[in-house]
Structure formats: C-alpha cells, structure tokens
Amino acid sequence: MFGEMIQHIADHKDALGIAHVLQVGDVTDNNFDSQWQIATDAWSHMDGVIGYTLAVGNHDMGDDGHAQDFSSKIDDYFTPEQLGTDGTYDGYDQPSLRNTYNTFISPDGQDWLILSLEFGAPDDVLRCAGEVIEGHLDHRVILNTHARNGGDKRVDPTTEDLTGENGAWSYGIRDDARNVNDGEDMYRELASKYPNISFTFGGHNFLDGAETVVSQTAGGNNLHQVFVNYQNGISGEITGAGDPSLGDRAGNGAFRIIVIDPDNDHITTHTKFADLDKFFERVDHQETFENAGIGAPKQIGIAKAGEDLTIKAGADGLAELTLDASGTILPGDGRALTYSWYDAQGGLLGKATRPCWRSSLARAQTGWCWKSQTSTGMSAATKRPSSSKARVTC
C-alpha cells in the first residue's frame, strides 16, 4: 500500500498541482533495516519526479524504534542528494538527515524554506534552525516534525495526562542532556519568533485524522499548524472515505493535500485516498482559510542582545559595562531604529541610535536585568549577584 500511495502521488503530480511532498515521521515501525529498505523502495517512485522531505519520528529512533535515544538508520538508506537537502545537522558536528533544510520556488515565484526536525528536537537543533531561518527571512517557511499537535492543540509535557495523546516527553529521549522539545516548546522557542513561518506539519497522535490550528507569530503572521495521521486508531468511516467497511486496508493510502492560492490569499485542505482514487468529502476534512497572509514575508527587526559578558570590578568597585546589540536583524526597509536598555524595574538606563551602550556598574548593585530593545523587537540580559564579578547572560 505504501509504495502504491507514493506511485499514485507521482502519477498525479500535474493533475493535483503538487510542488513538494512532506512525510511527517515514522518512516518505519521499528527502525529495522528491512523496514528502511521497504521505505527506500517506495520513495524511489518519487525520485526525479517530485521533491520530497522526510521526518524522523519516534518509531525511527533507538533500538527497535523505542526512541530511547536520537539514533536513527535514516542515513544508511537515504542521501542528501536524494532528498535535495541544502544542509543537515545532527547536534554533534556530523551531517545527518535527522535534521535538514531545503528550498524551492513555488509556481507564483515565492521562495520557500523547509526545515525538517527530528522527533523531540533538542535545544541545539532549535538554535541551528533559528539561524537557518534568519538567513532566509525573505522565504516563506515550513517546519516539518513528527509531533506538533495533540488534543489540546500543541503537544507539551501535560498532554498525555490531559488527553491520552503524547510527545517526546513520554519517551526515553526526555533524559537526553540536550533537552527535548515538543510542539508547544517549538512554538515558543522557534516558530513564534519569526514573521515568515507559514506552516508547521506533524502527525504522531490520532485526534480525528487531520486538523489545522492557526496561531499568530511575530509581526502578526498567521501560522497554520497542520496535523495529519491516518494510522490505526482512526475510525473506519474516515479511512474508508465515508464508508466504514472500506476503512481497514492500511488507511487506503490516505494523504493530505494543502492548496495555496496566493492570488486570493487563501488556503484549502483536502484528504485523498490513493487506493480508492477519491476525496473524503466530510466538511471538517475540507478546510478553507481566508486572508492567510501567504504573500512576501513582512520584514521586521529582530533584537539580538549580544554575547555573554564576564565583568570584573576594579579597585574602586566599578566595572565598565558595554551592552552590544549589533547582531540585531534590521527590517530591511530603510527605517531608522532606536535601541533602549532598561533595568529590572523598567527604568530607562540608556538610549541610542546605534546598537551599543556603555555604562559603569557598581559592585554593590546586584540583581539587575538589562534589555536591548528595538522599535520592533526585544532581547533580555540578566546579571547574577557577585561580590567583585558579575556574569551578564544575553
């Protein structure tokens, strides 16, 4: 069924207007070599026909797919050339298809960036992803990962107790020293900070097979968070396209289609069954989003507080302090910016038209908080109490 579904999509590329295909994780069931070979054979139907992106899910990680660590056999069976990647990252300075990015141009001429992140992506992976996004602020961005949405909209550590759905915090990778991040973490630490992320895609949980949740990110950008998963646990009525008696054959090759209409600024979603060659016509599987905001990304300033500082007081108990926000990303539209620094009580410490502010710091003063702020963004820096030294973390 898997190979037949891939072949169906490849054969209907032009009829359906497909620009790119995303797989949202669990390429395999147990991270077994035999299963990776089946996946490689199936996806080969799309090689050279349509660009596609894979995500590493919990079943693709660790011994027998138990996700007790971040190891995966994806690199033994797929290549960067096959997936058309522009960059990879594994967290240990080695290339790996566990985390990738690639770009493509849509039919309307808009540049797109796709970031595919492993299940429970650690903190350093999110930092790397942020750097890639900041290098492509003129691109519309898609974040593809395995677990984004749960029954409570975005997955977090409380999801399993509240809804029975779950995410990375329910697996052994939660003990990794680099931390793990689920849907809510990725929204707060990554997606919410940028004005050009249009979509997130994920699966893993069951819900009702498919849903789309819209949230706001920086600059008033609309973020469409698309969930799709037609595996066991979904009703026969859904996987049978309305006929429960047809719903047991591996979901009948169900896949989700997202139609982007830039001329009318709207998005529609649809479910099609490759094996039945028909669409699912239930209303909640045919969504429409007007005023989607999918044109050229808005250019806004993104404040950067600067590097960590170690400050040592002199014999007089004073230290010279320089707060440097020169890494701030400018809006790109020529507007003039101002930079302001405040203490923890909100009092203005300094203001400048350049991203640098200097002052003297008294040794006795502890517990201050400095912030570097532009007219369109803010970053924070904190000082820890010390007798003669203070470390300012930006």
CATH number at residue 325: 2.60.40
Residues 214, 355: one domain? Answer: no
- What element of type H or E holds 5? helix 2-11
Q: Let me know if residue 360 belongs to a domain.
A: yes
- What element of type H or E holds 211? strand 210-217
Structure-derived torsion over alpha carbons of residues 242, 243, 244, 248, reported in degrees to the nearest 10: -100
pLDDT at 9: 96
Residues 115, 190: one domain? Answer: yes
Judged by DSSP in three states, 89 sits in coil
pLDDT at 233: 79
pLDDT at 156: 83
pLDDT digits (tens, 9 = 90+) for 208-264: 889 999 999 998 999 999 999 998 778 888 989 999 998 888 889 999 999 999 999
CA distance 99 to 51: 17
CB 212 within 8 A of CB 289: yes
> What is the extent of the structural domain holding 321?
309-393
Q: Let me know if residue 350 belongs to a domain.
A: yes
Q: Which residue numbers in the chain have pLDDT < 70?
A: 92-93, 152, 305-306, 308-310, 333-334, 343, 360-394
CA distance 312 to 211: 54
CATH number at residue 24: 3.60.21
pLDDT at 137: 93
Residues 268, 353: one domain? Answer: no
Identify which of 369, 321, 364, 323 has the alpha carbon closest to the alpha carbon of residue 342: 369
Q: Cβ–Cβ contacts within 10 Å for residue 165, how many?
A: 18
pLDDT digits (tens, 9 = 90+) for 50-86: 999 999 999 999 999 999 999 999 999 999 999 999 9
Look at the chain and report how many structural domains it folds into. Answer: 2
pLDDT at 53: 97
pLDDT at 160: 85
pLDDT at 341: 74
Q: How many CA atoms lie within 13 A of 379 on its CB side?
A: 24
CB 279 within 8 A of CB 241: yes
Q: Let me know if residue 212 belongs to a domain.
A: yes
pLDDT at 64: 96
Residues 100, 242: one domain? Answer: yes
Identify which of 173, 176, 114 has the alpha carbon closest to the alpha carbon of residue 145: 114
Q: Let me know if residue 84 belongs to a domain.
A: yes
Q: Let me know if residue 298 belongs to a domain.
A: no
Q: Let me know if residue 331 belongs to a domain.
A: yes
pLDDT at 122: 94
Residues 285, 314: one domain? Answer: no
Residues 21, 89: one domain? Answer: yes
Residues 134, 78: one domain? Answer: yes
Residues 202, 315: one domain? Answer: no
Q: Let me know if residue 297 belongs to a domain.
A: no
Length reported for the chain: 394
Q: Do the bridges between strand 52-53 and strand 21-22 make them parallel or antiparallel, or are there none, so unpaired?
A: parallel
pLDDT at 157: 83
Distance set, CA 183 to CA 159, 165, 216, 229, 261 (Å): 10, 12, 15, 16, 27
Judged by DSSP in three states, 366 sits in coil
Residues 185, 104: one domain? Answer: yes
Q: Which residues pair with 350 in a beta bridge?
A: 341
Residues 253, 337: one domain? Answer: no
Please say which residue of 289, 318, 337 terminates a domain: 289
Residues 27, 111: one domain? Answer: yes
Q: Let me know if residue 295 belongs to a domain.
A: no
Residues 235, 378: one domain? Answer: no
pLDDT at 215: 93
In eight-state DSSP terms, residue 60 is: G
